[in-house]
Structure 1
């Protein structure tokens, strides 16, 4: 076998069997030791290199809790989450996190907010400033590098938060409803920006949202969780994100395949809400 043939075979094998970066095994969580009711129960999940996984489910099903466990912010009651085979025991810059309300430091400029993580990692100042400007350029905010957070709109603040997470070149980006507080137009712009950044960087993304259309237009996989306790009950493999990158994305949104999958997901979530309501009666 020639070198070129061997390389092609290796690339095909990688594509067909992508590397597992995050592995969640039998994870359960109760907020107190004496609480017999779990927030999460027996969660199993694998995130592969380069995936964009969207997590959906009714409010209170534990989506954010699962993300925090993967981020290393809270430990599970049972089971474990691991990265590259090593149990996650705390936060790590290899796992960037973006929340709905970007926790920017009001006394720092946009540039210094983006550079903050690099500074904590002792990256030389000039290298850090160069990287900060590079990622501000990626999110379209380089001209606002000297501005303070209070001078930015909500969408701009979220761009800064994304740049701050990405500047460390994390292998995994964890996003907890990052566009939930934005208006519809800004939200659509952020969706397009995130899609482009994902394709450019090849970063693995776990994205929590309540918006089914948003999940289908971004994800390569969409996972639906149940309520009380939170479990992953259905997985949908999708390819709409590539179609949304084409010349006529609105055609994809109204295609038969998109509409049918959207209705299936909405029906699943609606049934979870009905079940939760009836259980209280």
Structure 2
């Protein structure tokens, strides 16, 4: 593991998404400063995990990348063009999957393809392909209420990936799942990422999850959120079904975990004080 300070100088030519001096202020009875001077580059095929104290602006940052909101200052660009509104090139998966309850699993996955007017034969083929990828080919005709929490999240992931986005944005997607299902979903996502080479920005409160999945882990400060540390990691490449626990108990993993926890706890305490 290599530890480095985040810096604009590290931006490379293969950056897919770039945030330059991004700040966001919510206008209410009094101004609420959510983000301040965020510099961030997401590069082709990397898995970036975002950690930080509650209320530090992690979800706000993801919404800016998604195009749901615009920054108050600074620039947010994808492939050199300003991000203006939501786009299928940036898929989003939330903690609570917003599935259409009246549609089957298959039709939920196909929904985006239909909105994009993808030819019927191609959309059917892609839908079946991604149902297989997430292990739901036998549940294609089930409605959301007939599925477990983990299954619903598989549908949400398939619905995003079937459009073959350049970037997949995930806001605590496994936060509501039990420990066993969560580990299974982490393994599924890791395999899909390896296969698809998709660029992923993943928000989590779980340090172990971030280290087990990410190729970079970014830690944010208390509000207004800033990126205060960057950890370049490679644990995800070493983890498989057989050795995941072994990797999680290595000295390197535990050292990184302690350093990140101490950094986050320091932010939490200073926020309370």
| TM-score in same-fold range (> 0.5) | yes
Is residue 134 from structure 1 mapped to residue 125 from structure 2 by the alignment?
no
Say which of 94, 104, 116 aligns to 2:89. 94
The answer to whether structure 1 residue 242 and structure 2 residue 237 are counterparts is: yes
Unaligned segments of structure 1, at least 5 residues: 1-16
Report which of the two structures shows the higher radius of gyration computed on alpha carbons. Answer: 1
3-state SS of the aligned residue for 1:185? helix
Q: 1:152 aligns with which of 137, 147, 156?
A: 147
Give yes or no for contact 1:111–1:129 (8 Å, CA) kept in 2: no
SS at match of 1:198: helix
Aligned with 1:207: secondary structure? strand
Deviations 1:120-151 (A, max 9, x none): 00001221111111001000000000111110
Q: CA deviation at 1:34?
A: 7.2
Pairwise mapping of residues 1-281 of structure 1 onto structure 2 (< 5 A)? Answer: 19-32=14-27, 35-245=30-240, 247-278=242-273
Distance 1:100 1:232 in 2: 23
Q: Could you tell me how far 1:80 is from its partner in structure 2?
A: 1.7
CA contact 1:136–1:163 (8 Å) conserved in 2? yes
Cα distance, 1:250 vs structure 2: 1.2
Aligned residue pairs, count: 263
Range that drifts further, 83-92 or 31-40:
31-40
| Distance in 1 of aligned mates of 2:70 and 2:114 | 27
**Aligned equivalents of 1:134, 1:48: Cα separation in 2:** 26
185-194 or 247-256: bigger deviation: 247-256
- Give distance in 2, aligned partners of 1:35 and 1:171: 37
Deviations 1:175-221 (A, max 9, x none): 00000000000000000000000000000000000000000000000
Task: State whether residues 41 and 230 of structure 1, in contact with CA within 8 Å, keep that contact through their aligned partners in structure 2.
Answer: yes
> 2: CA distance between counterparts of 1:33 and 1:41?
17
**TM-score when normalising by structure 2:** 0.94
With over 3 angstroms needed to count, the CA separation of the structure-2 counterparts of 1:36 and 1:106, relative to structure 1, is closer
The alignment partner of 2:103 has SS state of: coil
C-alpha distance in structure 2 between counterparts of 1:139 and 1:33, whole Å: 42
TM-score scaled by structure 1?
Answer: 0.91
SS in 2 for 1:133: helix
CA distance in 2, matches of 1:18, 1:254: 36
Deviation readout 1:8-61 (Å, 9 max, x if unpaired): xxxxxxxxx661000001111111177444100010100000000000001100
Q: Distance in 2 between matches of 1:209 and 1:257?
A: 20
Secondary structure of 2:26's match? coil
User: Runs of 5+ in structure 2 lacking a partner?
Assistant: 1-11
Give the distance between the partners of 1:114 and 1:30, measured in 2 at CA: 35
